[in-house]
Amino acid sequence: DQQVKQNSPSLSVQEGRISILNCDYTNSMFDYFLWYKKYPAEGPTFLISISSIKDKNEDGRFTVFLNKSAKHLSLHIVPSQPGDSAVYFCAARYNTNAGKSTFGDGTTLTVKP
């Protein structure tokens, strides 16, 4: 049973437009959510996170929205840039150990110039 799902394996967006990456989860015990970005041949890089007590967190061009009732979160990138092209992983955790995050399968974002 996959507890964190990213249903879109890929997304293609024009430069300057908004990119919206979606993530759904099933475990209502999750209370902290993260987005990681991964370039080929590199490890994931932490991007932005949100606690379950909030519904929005913003950092520059990146905003994460959390809808607890729908068990859904999304990452908005505005404006999208070609350098944003990467695989984006959604992760969620509730365990007492920060390392036991559950990751989604990732969404490959391609931003076209």
Residues that bind another protein (CB under 8 A): 31-32, 34, 36, 41-46, 49, 51, 89, 91, 93-101, 103-106
By beta-carbon proximity to another protein, the closer residue of 106 and 111 is 106
Q: How far is the CB of 57 from another protein (least distance, A)?
A: 10
By beta-carbon proximity to another protein, the closer residue of 41 and 70 is 41
By beta-carbon proximity to another protein, the closer residue of 43 and 83 is 43
**DSSP single-letter state for residue 28:** T
Of 20, 11, 37, which is closest to residue 91 (Cα–Cα)? 37
β-strands 45-51, 107-112 pairing: unpaired
4 contacts 73 by C-beta, under 8 angstroms: no
HSE-up of residue 100 (Cα within 13 Å, Cβ side): 7
Task: Dig out the tokens for 67 from the structure.
Answer: 């809808």
Q: How far is the CB of 46 from another protein (least distance, A)?
A: 5
Q: How far is the CB of 14 from another protein (least distance, A)?
A: 25
Q: How far is the CB of 15 from another protein (least distance, A)?
A: 25
